[in-house]
């Protein structure tokens, strides 16, 4: 019991650490997006020189008064204000930002997968205590099962829900041909041919509705 508590504490600590890593990754991604937004905002507002232009000696623009001592005036069109070209983020900068975001996304996905695995293991350990007082016959899909002597479970092609269910049933029955008339054994061993979502579907079956192999086969094809 003490070792189980230590394992649970260790997994809770790993879950907390992974949660902190996910938060840091999301924070880095947010900072990367803000950098791109700031650069884009600067490029949309070009800098203009608002100071008066420098005129050559003896030149006076038409909107300024000439001192009384000056007897001649020259009217020359003023030069347009010099406009600084907009600042556009370079290709290298954009590629670096994209790489940072991709790395953050990949690390976030891996961290989430590890977190899900740890949570599932933790639920499995805690479930031992939760269901410890329940009669085992209530959890069995086929109670009173008698496994034949020297019986060995065949090697099945695992079904995960992405292929044809009817084809999987055919292959399963051919593997179990020697015990095709033993309904309880067929129902019990069928879980060994499943994986992923299909296994979770099998666990959720109610033994009140599954009595013979045909009941399970019909439910599987629905």
Question: Each residue of 5-36: pLDDT tens digit?
Answer: 777 778 788 888 888 887 888 787 777 655 54
Is the per-residue pLDDT at 137 higher than 80?
no
Q: Residues 173, 199: one domain?
A: yes
Residue 82: domain span? 2-130
Q: How many CA atoms lie within 13 A of 178 on its CB side?
A: 8
Q: Assign residue 109 a region: left if phi > 0, alpha if psi is -120 to 50, beta otherwise?
A: alpha
Q: How many domains are there within the chain?
A: 2
Contact at 8 Å (CB) between 83 and 48? yes
| Percentages (nearest 5) of helix, strand, coil residues in the chain | 55, 0, 40
Same domain, 183 and 104: no
Same domain, 122 and 49: yes
Q: Are residues 156 and 126 in the same domain?
A: no
Q: What mean pLDDT comes out for the span 192-213? A: 93
Q: Of the residues 130, 164, 188, which one is the last residue of a structural domain?
A: 130
CA distance 34 to 28: 10
Rounded Cα gap, residues 134 and 123, in angstroms:
17
Using pLDDT thresholds of 50, 70 and 90, give the confidence band for residue 199. very high
pLDDT at 79: 53
- Is the pLDDT confidence value at 127 over 90? no
Same domain, 125 and 145: no
The pLDDT of residue 184: 93
- Residue 88 phi/psi, 5-degree rounding, is -110, 130
Q: Do residues 178 and 112 both lie within one domain?
A: no
* Domain boundary residue, one of 113, 130, 147: 130
Same domain membership, residue 150 and residue 75: no
User: Which pLDDT does position 35 carry in this prediction?
Assistant: 52
49-76 residue pLDDT tens: 545 556 566 656 555 555 555 555 555 5
Q: Are residues 13 and 121 in the same domain?
A: yes
On whether both 32 and 94 belong to a single domain, the answer is: yes
pTM: 0.41
Domain boundary among 97, 130, 163: 130
């Amino acid at each position: 019991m003490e070792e189980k508590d230590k394992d649970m504490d260790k997994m809770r600590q790993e879950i907390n650490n992974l949660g902190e890593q996910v938060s840091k990754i999301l924070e880095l991604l947010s900072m990367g997006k803000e950098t791109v937004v700031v650069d884009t905002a600067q490029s949309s507002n070009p800098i203009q020189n608002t100071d008066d232009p420098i005129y050559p000696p003896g030149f006076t623009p038409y909107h300024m008064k000439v001192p009384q001592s000056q007897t001649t005036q020259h009217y020359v069109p003023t030069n347009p204000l010099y406009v600084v070209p907009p600042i556009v983020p370079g290709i290298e900068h954009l590629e670096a930002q994209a790489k940072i975001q991709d790395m953050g996304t990949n690390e976030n996905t891996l961290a989430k997968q590890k977190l899900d695995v740890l949570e599932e293991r933790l639920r499995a350990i805690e479930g031992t205590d939760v269901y410890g007082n329940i009669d085992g016959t209530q959890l069995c899909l086929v109670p009173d099962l008698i496994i034949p002597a020297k019986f060995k479970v065949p090697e099945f092609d695992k079904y995960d829900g992405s292929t044809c269910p009817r084809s999987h049933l055919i292959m399963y029955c051919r593997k179990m041909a020697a015990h095709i008339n033993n309904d309880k054994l067929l129902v019990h061993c069928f879980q060994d041919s499943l994986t992923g979502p299909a296994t979770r579907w099998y666990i959720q079956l109610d033994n009140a509705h599954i009595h013979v192999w045909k009941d399970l086969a019909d439910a599987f094809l629905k």
